[in-house]
Chain A
Amino acid sequence: NAGVTQTPKFQVLKTGQSMTLQCAQDMNHEYMSWYRQDPGMGLRLIHYSVGAGITDQGEVPNGYNVSRSTTEDFPLRLLSAAPSQTSVYFCASSLFTGTDEQYFGPGTRLTVT
């Protein structure tokens, strides 16, 4: 099993550009989520999904969209990038809920100039 994979590993965007961060898991997990990690801020939940077709907002959802058309994939879309979105983004998955053991992907380091 590859576990949780994320692409790209690194990305530089200009302010106003849009892009999609990809996340996939091959463990048949129902729950998937996106976090951002900023220095000294820990991990903050952006959006999560409890199954295909079901998504909800986390702690810091503004400026981000998600969809979940399959169990395996959970892409994160930045609609119009801003310098405040410079961060490291982690995708995670677990069997059913946020309180199950979370499996994290390797992360995407995003810089917005």
Chain B
Amino acid sequence: GQQVMQIPQYQHVQEGEDFTTYCNSSTTLSNIQWYKQRPGGHPVFLIQLVKSGEVKKQKRLTFQFGEAKKNSSLHITATQTTDVGTYFCAGPGEGSNYKLTFGKGTLLTVNP
């Protein structure tokens, strides 16, 4: 079945450093979503990418969708302590728009 893999599993940075997490799917995705989960909290939707090669920005966050629509990345510029949390990517299950498959997430910790 479809797999969505994320790397790295953990990342610890000093405040002000940049951070990137990568998401790779075993199949072509019609779209990809990104979520953030703060420690002890619930996942919160960040963005959805649909087009091949799409790049979207939200303040210090930059999201990219690969040309082949099988990979994506989230880059945070100049991390802040408020960026702490786990970042998940998620894509539609193979052949289905009703099942969302999540990656295992990247836990980001920021040292002030």
Q: Which A residues lie at the B interface, using CB under 8 A?
A: 31, 33, 35, 40-45, 48, 50, 56, 58-59, 90, 92, 97-99, 101-107
Contacts and interface: CB of A to CB of B under 8 A. Distances in A.
B98 A43 contact: no
B7 to A, nearest CB: 13
Nearest to B9: A40
A90 B42 contact: yes
B102 A98 contact: no
> Which of under 10, 10 to 19, 20 to 34, or 35 or more describes the interface residues of B?
20 to 34
Given A99-B30, A101-B48, A43 B43 contact: yes
Contacts of A50: 98
A92 B102 CA distance: 13
B16 to A, nearest CB: 28
Interface in B78-112: 88, 90, 92-93, 96-105
Contacts, number: 62
B98 A98 contact: yes
Contacts of B103: 42
Given A42-B88, A102-B33, A106-B42, A97 B98 contact: yes
Interface string B19-62: 00000000000110101000001111100100000000000000
